Amino acid sequence: MACSKLQAQSFFTSEEYGFSIGGSQYFGDLNDNYGFQYVRPAGGIFARIHLNPYIAVRFSGNYAKIGYDDAFSSNTFNKTRNLSFRSDVVEVAFQTEFNFFRFTTGELGSRFTPYLTGGIGAFYFNPYTYLNGDRYNLKPLGTEGQYVGYAGRIYSNFNVCFPIGVGVKYWVVPGVNIGFEITDRLTLTDYLDDVSTTYVDSKLFDANTGNGNASAAYQLQDRSGESGGTKLGRPGKQRGNSATKDQYMMFVFNLSFQFKTYKCPSYLKDGYFMY
């Protein structure tokens, strides 16, 4: 016969399920001094598998809102350049966690640990901005000449990221864990912000669409003169810094759960004493 739940031994599974919520910040051509003037929401869901008390792996799906404005910068060139962007980022990632201390939910001596994490992920982004109150997706406009002779600058909305970060874990009651994590995402794209290389000749864009207004591409490829200041957009003049790739960071609180299960002790298996 099978043992009853009262006779069974209980233990927590190695699988853990949870969600995270917090903030995000972008770093790149518009935020080259690592400012935090545009922190926006971030969050996700995840499944963690504990391989042992010191190593775990995690699969996650995440969302982050990123963006920045040259107006936030203290750099004169950036302020004059006058560019801005926003983007929603949707990410899936695989990470490994390395605990500094032994961590096992329900085990009093293994209640807390800091940890390091690293991994790989893929994400979708689509930079946009506003002009006269209207929203424009920037990639289709080819603001760095992508569709008027500079095809080598065309970029994809999908890219790869490498999450690298630190965190802490703590179990509150057996099976309920909380944590906090700061993870920077290194990417392989320099176009999170739609800015990377040089200005191209403004004559390549439609300066007159037939109704007396310049096209959105013409206006958004060089916004430096909007307030009546100096125009920067000379062909070949640096628009961004292609020597470095863009990044985005997520700093989130985690709440997760490990569920209790039961197994029959060996001496009661199938209703018989086992030796």
Residues 182-218 have pLDDT tens digits of 999 999 999 999 999 999 999 999 988 767 688 999 9
90 neighbors 79 (Cβ within 8 angstroms):
no
Is residue 273 helix, strand or coil?
Answer: coil
Average pLDDT over residues 16-36: 97
What 8-state DSSP symbol labels residue 221?
A: H
- The Cα–Cα gap between 190 and 26 comes to 12
> Rounded distance, CA 247 to CA 111, Å?
33
**Residue 265: predicted pLDDT:** 62
The Cα 260–Cα 199 span in angstroms is: 60
C-beta separation of 139 from 156 below 8 A: no
The DSSP line for 77-124 is HHHHH--EEEEEEEEEEEEEEEESS---TT-GGG-EEEEEEEEEEEEE
pLDDT tens, position by position, 136-184? 999 999 999 999 999 999 999 999 999 999 999 999 999 999 999 999 9
The CATH class, in words, for 9-266 is mainly beta
pTM score of the predicted model: 0.90
Q: What is the mean pLDDT of residues 212-238?
A: 89
d(CA 50, CA 63): 24
